[in-house]
Amino acid sequence: MAIQLFVPTFATDEILEEIRECLEKGWTGLGFKTVEIEAKWNEYTGHAHSHFLNSATSGLHLAINIFKEIDDWNDGDEILTTPLTFVSSNHAILYERLKPVFVDIDQYLCLDPQDLERKISDRTRAVLFVGMGGNTGQLEAIKAICVERGLRLILDAAHMSGTRLNGITPAGDATVYSFQAVKTMPTADAGMICFKDEKLDSIARKKAWLGINKDTFSRSSDKGSYKWHYDVEYVGFKYHGSSIMASMALVQLKYLDRDNAYRRQICSWYERGFSNSEVRSIPIAPGCESSRHLYQIEVDNRDELMLALNGAEIYPGVHYRDNRHYQMFAEKEDSCPRSTFISERLISLPLHMRLTKSDVDEVVRNVIKYARV
């Protein structure tokens, strides 16, 4: 049987019962389930404010949009970011007519603090930190720089559901999670934005519902009456989450720590399997209990190896192609040489809840057979 990179696993019966409640009540959109998942997420993570959205991309855009408005940023101002990420991270910067300035990566595939300090200019307004694969990298050093230099920290935690650093959930001025179908807490697609500041959370709730100051759920009473009068305070977006997706998230959250523990077990099998070989894996930062969304290795013959693995019915992935390969982010000179080097050598090996020890052994055997390092 083929070994896939990602295969989501759902607590199907429990999810269907949650969704059935939505259908029977006739309320499938923003409402009672989205309110419940926000409270449960706060309880689980320790965040003070969480707002359920339709995707992490929406959350990143909301964070940048709100900071630009309240902090009086101008078009063309800069956000320091990584070139090694899914394009939605950097699209969110462009949505607001800001300039992404690329910072090189460290050994954890996260932002390198030294290169970040070198690239701060008088137009720098924020740092976008991506927790690659659930790794925290040198996040604390990045946070210290942001505090010292008065920069906003936006934590792209798309891979970090369940990640802890020294026992605590990492956070920025805004922290954005993904509950997309193959993430560690899968739904069909959804996300969460978590602001430290209650005022910003309030703005996000309005902007995520087209700038309207009272959403449909808050305008509906227990007796079924509907208050039609509201104001529109912002030019907002249709970014709110639905009760159907929240129903999935509520169930999946119950099993998140258990599932992440199994992901770490799979990674330990990989580590033991490669221990007597020269295959190099990407390390986890000290103090980080990673969600282990990814298990990544570095090889010299990435494309050749992927073809060989495909021939053995093993289907790995690549996370990610350096964004500067895309024409909209292209540079005349290479500002991030480590990212350039590593992005041509990275492979993400299969990692999901349906993998067995024998599956991992088969992947390891074939990687060792075909890899050049």
Q: Which domains does the chain have, with CATH numbers?
A: 10-254 (3.40.640.10), 256-370 (3.90.1150.10)
pLDDT band at 224 (very low <50, low <70, confident <90, very high): low
Pick the more confident residue, 228 or 87: 87
Looking at residue 296, its pLDDT comes to 98
pLDDT of 215 > 70? The answer is no
Q: Distance between CA 363 and CA 257 in Å, rounded?
A: 25
Q: What is the mean pLDDT of the chain?
A: 96
Secondary structure letter of residue 267 according to DSSP? H
Rg of the chain over all Cα atoms, to the nearest angstrom: 21
Report the Cα–Cα distance between both ends of the chain, in Å, rounded: 28
**Nearest by Cα to 29 from 238, 289, 199, 301:** 238
Full-model pTM: 0.96
Looking at residue 230, its pLDDT comes to 85
Structure tokens at 146: 């942001």
Q: Which residues of 131-165 are buried (b: 16+ CB within 10 A; e: fewer)?
A: bbbbbbbbbebbbebbeeeebbbbbbbbbbbbbbb
Question: For residues 134 and 163, is the Cβ–Cβ distance under 8 A?
Answer: yes
List CB contacts of 24: < 8 A, sequence separation 6 or more.
Answer: none
For 328-352, what is the mean pLDDT? Answer: 97
C-alpha distances in angstroms, 53 versus 15, 88, 239, 298, 347? Answer: 18, 15, 6, 34, 30
Q: Distance between CA 165 and CA 290 in Å, rounded?
A: 8
Q: Distance between CA 373 and CA 368 in Å, rounded?
A: 10
For 141-159, what is the mean pLDDT? Answer: 98
For 7-11, what is the mean pLDDT? Answer: 97
CB hemisphere CA count around 218 (13 angstroms): 11
pLDDT band at 227 (very low <50, low <70, confident <90, very high): low
Looking at residue 218, its pLDDT comes to 59
Pick the more confident residue, 213 or 178: 178
Is the bond preceding residue 320 a cis peptide, omega within 30 degrees?
Answer: yes
Looking at residue 213, its pLDDT comes to 85
DSSP for 91-119, please give it: HHHHHTT-EEEE--B-TTSSB-HHHHHHT
